[in-house]
């Protein structure tokens, strides 16, 4: 930690997927050279400037991509499929996420929740696994679970940190699009909180007027 860390990288440049990651790197003494216009892996891959040889001639850009073991291949695929310049990507799985099993108290509390906040696609999957266990859906097929309606997701609306996580909710078949909230611009913790507040407000309004999900 601390200043001087950036000097150890020589001419290597650093890209961050979003402002929160940029802030964490800067706090540790690194200079961030690039942040995409939208905090998603797809946008990072499409906008990352290629390396040059000093005379604006494009050369192969070698990228080290530290990631979660469960992260999708959107960054690797997006970079390697670029047609404007060649990219060589080495993915390094630096951490993993493991689903938590709900305690009896947490299982009982599922029925009291109106909004579930998801910070990653793996969090969506973990929530649904615990809902299945709590409500006895474990032996059902995916088609049967999709047919359950809101009961299949724990009767909650989803407040997601960004588009990728929201897409995971939609693709699970357990939510309809109007029950998935996420920031369409500037994804991050602050805008996630705003989306969550909107979700809570809409749920309260529906309850007041007696509307369903």
The 10s digit of each residue's pLDDT in 98-112 is 888 899 999 888 889
Q: Taking Cα atoms as reference points, which of 108, 104, 128, 105 lies closest to residue 116?
A: 128
Picking from 75, 95, 115, the residue at the C-terminal end of a domain is 95
- Tell me the whole-structure pTM to 2 decimals: 0.71
Q: Are residues 85 and 123 in the same domain?
A: no
Burial (0-12, 13-18, 19+ Cβ within 10 Å), 103: exposed
Examine the domain organization and report whether 39 and 116 are in the same domain.
no
Structural domain span for residue 65: 5-95
pLDDT at 2: 45
Q: Which of 11-20, 41-50, 202-211 has the lowest mean pLDDT?
A: 202-211
Looking at the fold, whether 109 and 86 belong to one and the same domain comes out as no
Q: Which of 10, 12, 34, 9 is nearest to 22 (CA)?
A: 34
pLDDT at residue 99 in the model: 82
| CA angle, residues 150, 153, 156, in degrees to nearest 5 | 70
Q: Residue 15 is part of a domain; what is its CATH number?
A: 3.40.50.10090
What confidence score (pLDDT) does residue 212 get?
61
Pick the range with the lowest mean pLDDT from 13-27, 50-64, 65-79, 192-206.
50-64
């Amino acid at each position: 930690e601390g200043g001087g860390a950036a000097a150890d990288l020589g001419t290597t440049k650093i890209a961050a997927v979003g402002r929160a990651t940029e802030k964490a790197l800067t706090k540790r003494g690194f200079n961030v050279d690039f942040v995409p216009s939208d905090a998603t892996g797809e946008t990072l891959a499409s906008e990352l400037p290629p390396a040059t040889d000093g005379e604006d001639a494009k050369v192969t850009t070698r990228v080290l991509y530290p990631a979660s073991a469960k992260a999708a291949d959107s960054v690797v695929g997006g970079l390697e499929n670029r047609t404007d310049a060649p990219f060589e990507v080495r993915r390094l799985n630096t951490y993993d996420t493991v689903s938590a099993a709900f305690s009896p108290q947490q299982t009982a509390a599922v029925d009291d929740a109106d909004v579930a906040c998801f910070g990653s696609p793996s969090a969506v999957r973990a929530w649904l696994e615990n809902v299945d266990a709590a409500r006895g859906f474990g032996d059902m097929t995916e088609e049967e679970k999709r047919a359950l309606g809101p009961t299949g997701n724990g009767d909650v609306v989803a407040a997601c940190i960004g588009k990728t996580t929201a897409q995971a909710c939609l693709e699970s078949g357990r939510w309809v699009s109007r029950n998935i909230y996420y920031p369409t611009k500037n994804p991050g913790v602050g805008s996630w909180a705003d989306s969550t507040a909107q979700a809570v407000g809409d749920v309260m309004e529906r309850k007041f007027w007696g509307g369903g999900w």
